[in-house]
Structures are given as structure tokens and as C-alpha cells.
Structure 1
Amino acid sequence: MTSTIVVLTEESLGSGDVENLRALMGEEPTRFDILVPADTGRNLLVDVLDNLSLLDFSAAFKDLTGGRQTKAEGVKEAVTELAESLEALQAAGLEATGSVTGEDPVAAVVETAKRTGASQVVVITTPHAIEDTFRTDWANEAQDRLGVPVLHLYSGSGFIGGS
């Protein structure tokens, strides 16, 4: 029987992410259902505080001076990130499908996990100091709503988030 792992990512999966996902497969056949949000619903103040806590002053300044995407730009970027992620997984010989989510990425994860009978959910993000500290990140929200394990990985690394 093929198991399903639902993956929510806020950016294109890189080679490190693909290898981390491969390690989760185990011995049984696994397919991945990739979700990329077109609108992350992020809060400007939280983004600025996250960037300042990570000493990324240029990103904090960009957030404050209007560096936000339009909805159309967000959808276009999400479609590109999804295509790149699917290509990376398929190039590694992994079975993967995916879609772009709407305004509530966690609701999309919950719906997809229930519809596919997912055995696990993986959330791949960059570090978000405020959300991770106060456990308001996507992984914690998904864990609260689902009865399957939710693993939070930081993009491009093997570091596990605080979920």
C-alpha cells in the first residue's frame, strides 16, 4: 500500500529538502502531496520582528517600506515554486503531485491530509522566531487540528523546528 506525506512549504524545495523527505519514506512506497501557499497570511509587524531577531536588517527595512507582493504576484510565485518543487522531487525519482493553496495554508493541509489519508505531514519553512517561540507556526496549528504526526523542518537544512 502506498502512503501519502503532505508537505506544506513556503518556498521551492531544494536538494537538502528532497533528501530529508526521502529519509522519511521508509521501506513502503510513498507519494508526496506538495502544497505551496499563494498568500501566507503573514503579519507585517511579525515579519519585521522576525527579520530583526535574525539580524536581517535589509529584509526588515524592505518589509517596512512596501516590499509586499500583490495577490497576483503571490500566486505567480507560488505556481513557480510548486513547479520547481515537483520537478526536484520527480528528478529524484519520487512520486509527487501538488497544488497552490489559498489564504489559509493550515486549512489546506488539514483538508488534504484527511482527503488523502496521509500518514504524516511535513511543514518546511524558514525560521520564524516569533511564531516558533510562541508555537503559533503552521506546524503547531496543523498538529492541533490533525491526528497524524507533523514534522517542522527548516528549509535547506536538517534542523527541526519547534513544533
Structure 2
Amino acid sequence: MTDTILVLIEDTLAPVDVQHLLALHEGEQLAYHVLVPADTDRPLLPTIVDDLGLGEIKGALERLRGKEPTEREATATAVEQLSSTLAEFAAAGRTATGEVVDDDPLPALRAAAAAHDAREVAIVTYPHAWLDTFHRDWASRARDELHIPVLHLYSGTSELG
């Protein structure tokens, strides 16, 4: 039986992200299962802090006005991100499966860990100043709930969260 690595992402993985993930287990034949949340409800304060920290004034103002994607828009975006990410794995010579999950990905991550008898979880996100600092990010929450190793990588870099 092939070991499974769960990969939780907040955006499409770039080729460099896939290469970083594959390099973690070079020479091993592993199964990869990708989870992408349909993000419809971003927390107000952390999102504004992140937007302002990145100089995205327009995004912060839109968030203050309560502009969130509809469930349909969020699901369509997540499906596109999943499809593109699975294509990146294929381009790297690896097969991956995946699914779109609810806004809060932790219940789906917990279920996928059990269903796939996952060996570990790799979470790939952008840095989030508020959530990372106060350990409310997905990786911190997953470490608290799951009994398998959880690695947090920052998208587009080799930096660990």
C-alpha cells in the first residue's frame, strides 16, 4: 500500500511548490491527495491585517464593506485551483487526487487523514500575519487536532511556517 500525503492549499500550487513537496520525499513513491477549501467567509480582522500588510488597500476596503465571494463563486474558484494543482503534479510526473472542501477545512482534513490513512499533512499557504502569530492558522490548528506530522510551507518559497 502506498503512503499518502495530504496537501491542503489556499491557492493553486505553482511548479516550485510542487517541486518543494516532492523533494521532501525524494525517491519515494507516494500518493498525494489535495484539499482546496471553497473560501466564502474570511475572518474580518486577520484578512484586513494581511491586506494592509501587503499594501492591498483596495482588498482591505472591500473586506470592510463585507464583500465576500458567493458560495458559487468560491466553489468555482476552488475547482479551478484544484484542477490546476493536479495538472502541476501531473507535469512533475506524479499523480494526485483531490477534492474541494468546506470553508473550514479542518473537518475535511481530519476525515481525509482517516480515510487515506495519511502519513503526514503538508499545508501550503501565503503568510498570514495575524493567524500565524496567534497560532490560529490551518497548520497550527491541524497540529492540535491530528496525530500525524503537519508541515506548513509558504507558497512560492521554501520557507516553513
Report the TM range for the smaller structure's normalisation. Answer: over 0.9
Percent identical residues: 43
How far off its partner does 1:45 sit?
A: 2.2
The one-character-per-residue Cα deviations of 1:75-105 (angstroms, maximum 9, x if unpaired) are 0100010000001101111120000001320
CA contact (8 A) 2:122 2:151 kept: yes
Aligned to 1:86: 86
Distance 1:40 1:114, change over 3 A: farther
How far off its partner does 1:66 sit?
A: 4.3
Residue 5 of structure 2 aligns to a residue whose secondary structure is strand
CA RMSD in angstroms comes to 1.4
Distance 1:5 1:40, change over 3 A: farther
Q: TM-score, normalised by structure 2?
A: 0.93
The one-character-per-residue Cα deviations of 1:91-129 (angstroms, maximum 9, x if unpaired) are 111120000001320111111011111111011111110
- 1:49 and 1:109 mapped to 2: Cα distance? 26
Distance 1:150 1:40, change over 3 A: farther
Residue 28 of structure 1 aligns to a residue whose secondary structure is coil
* Letter paired with 1:140: S
Aligned to 2:13: 13
Which sections of structure 2, spanning at least 5 residues, go unmatched? none
Q: TM-score, normalised by structure 1?
A: 0.92
How far off its partner does 1:65 sit?
A: 3.4
Which sections of structure 1, spanning at least 5 residues, go unmatched? none
- 2:84 and 2:26 mapped to 1: Cα distance? 24
Q: 2:79 matched to 1:60?
A: no
How far off its partner does 1:133 sit?
A: 0.1
* Letter paired with 2:51: N
CA contact (8 A) 1:32 1:95 kept: yes
Say how many residue pairs are matched.
161
The 5 Å alignment of 1:77-116 reads 77-116=77-116
